[in-house]
Amino acid sequence: MTTPAIGTDPRLRAALRRLDLRIVHRLEGLLHGEHLGLRLGPGSEAAEARVYQPGEDDVRRMDWSVTARTTTPHVRDLVADRELESWTLLDLSPSMNFGTGLHSKHDVAVGAMVAANLLTQRVGDRFGAHFLHQGRIRRWPARSGKEALLALLATVAAAPTGDERDPSPHQATMADALSDLVRTRRRRGLRVVVSDFLDTPAFGGEVTWERPLRQLATRHQVLVVEVVDPLEMDVPEVGDVSLRDPRTGRTRDVRLTRAVRERYRRAAADQRAAVRDALRRCGVHHLLLRTDRDWVLDTARFVIHQRRTAHHLARHTPAVPR
């Protein structure tokens, strides 16, 4: 995946401006706003060690290695991250091109990625991206600024959107892409995962992407954006239809009777429930966006709800005694 020359591309600049106006006016200061650090508290990165002050310092910050060397109790101060790195894992598999609502899943997914990165670049943080595209994992380096975001949009716009017919014996999956993100991006920050998760088994099979996502959430703040289309949850009773698998290009003739539709609805509901349960076990934030709704408004409501919940917990959580 290469970045085309974008210098003065009026279409991309106009698209970015529209997204900027729609997103920032509703979300500014909410998703990743002004910050002193990623996590609540004195900070998240280790600083210098100093002598322990009884009754003032938290014993949980004790630096045992320095204490052992000097035979005097020392604690390690923490400083906040001033420049965080935000990384987005964007699923560009063929199933994301589907859409019967106001937008395609691809458009909603790209919009969610831009929403996070617009707010990130407004406070000076760097943002980068990993793409799951045509069975391969592709990386876009972390940068900051409006021109970098424009280049990222151009990269996504230039990516081929045809069927996935990779002759290689191994095609990367969402689990592979998450593992790659865990391995290559160690610095703490925001991680945004955008996908439809259609490779999740519907009837109790192994959720292969759950373990790497849990590993990602142990170190980073993780937001998972699940993108769905209403026709994926229910299909109309239209008789005989030809269905095509976007991954392989294979087609199959199916008669959509009432019984088939009911089985399809149950399977689709079970699959969405499996995704929700796996995300809940991973302890990540979960945002569901639909192609038949205003995704900007749904994102704004989600962020406001998260902020209110965080403030409520902060007010009602008792202080830890020292």
Per-residue pLDDT in tens (0 to 9) along the chain, 322 residues: 544 444 445 666 666 666 665 666 655 544 444 443 444 444 455 556 788 888 777 788 888 988 998 999 988 876 555 557 889 999 999 889 888 878 889 999 998 998 888 776 655 678 899 999 988 999 999 888 878 888 888 888 888 776 555 545 578 999 999 999 999 998 888 899 999 999 898 777 889 999 999 999 998 989 999 999 998 898 887 888 888 877 777 888 888 888 888 999 999 999 999 999 999 999 999 999 999 998 888 888 887 777 677 656 555 555 444 4
Domain identity same for 178 and 216: yes
Burial (CB count <10 Å: 0-12, 13-18, 19+), residue 142: middle
201 Cα distance to chain centroid: 20
Break the chain down into helix, strand, coil percent, rounded to 5: 40, 20, 35
Domain identity same for 26 and 106: yes
Task: Provide the 10 A C-beta neighbour count for residue 75.
Answer: 20
Domain identity same for 176 and 299: yes
Domain identity same for 146 and 255: yes
Domain identity same for 213 and 167: yes
- The three-class DSSP label of residue 108 is helix
Domain identity same for 227 and 258: yes
Check: CB of residue 89 under 8 Å from CB of residue 177: yes
b/e map of 106-137 (b: 16 or more CB within 10 Å)? bbbbbbbbbbbbbbbbbeebbbbbbbbbbbbb
Number of domains in the chain: 2
Q: In this structure, which amino acid lies at residue 289?
A: L
Domain identity same for 70 and 169: no
Check: CB of residue 224 under 8 Å from CB of residue 193: yes
Of the candidates 289, 272, 236, the one whose C-alpha atom is nearest the C-alpha of residue 106 is 289
Measured CA to CA, the distance from residue 57 to residue 74 in angstroms comes to 10
Q: Residue for token digits 């955008």?
A: 194
- The residue among 39, 57, 79 that closes a domain is 79
> For residue 305, is it within any domain?
yes
Domain identity same for 103 and 122: yes
Domain identity same for 60 and 140: no
- H/E element, 213: helix 210-219
Domain identity same for 220 and 73: no
> For residue 71, is it within any domain?
yes
Range of the domain at 254: 10-31+83-316
